[in-house]
Amino acid sequence: MTPLGVMTVVIVNVYGQKVAELPLLTEKTVWDTRHSKAGVVYYYRLEIDGKILSGKIVVQ
């Protein structure tokens, strides 16, 4: 099992440009979206023990 301190969540916009890379230091990771417009779609990617978790985020 990979230690949490070496994992990151990568967030990209619809063009595939990286907008944030958040370290996973605890069980909860928060992305500050105060400077993002409402309704904008982003995608996240996280790799854990060779498995990739990904999904869509819509800023409210």
pLDDT in tens, 7-38: 889 999 999 999 999 988 888 888 999 988 89
Q: Does residue 29 belong to any structural domain of this protein?
A: no
Residue 26 is assigned to a structural domain of this protein: no
Largest CA distance in the chain: 37
Domain residue limits at 41: 36-60
Q: How far apart are CA 20 and CA 17, in angstroms?
A: 9
Q: Is the pLDDT of residue 1 over 60?
A: no
Q: Count of domains in the chain? A: 1
Residue 52 reports pLDDT greater than 80:
yes
Residue 57 lies in a domain: yes
Cβ atoms of 24 and 8 within 8 Å: the answer is yes
50 belongs to a structural domain: yes
Q: Which helix (H) or strand (E) holds 11?
A: strand 8-12
Q: How confident is the model at residue 41 (pLDDT cuts 50, 70, 90)?
A: very high
Classify residue 58: in a domain, yes or no: yes
- Count of other CB atoms within 10 angstroms of residue 28: 6
**Residue with token string 């944030």:** 20
Query: Which pLDDT value is given to residue 9?
Result: 92
Question: Per the domain annotation, does 20 fall within a domain?
Answer: no
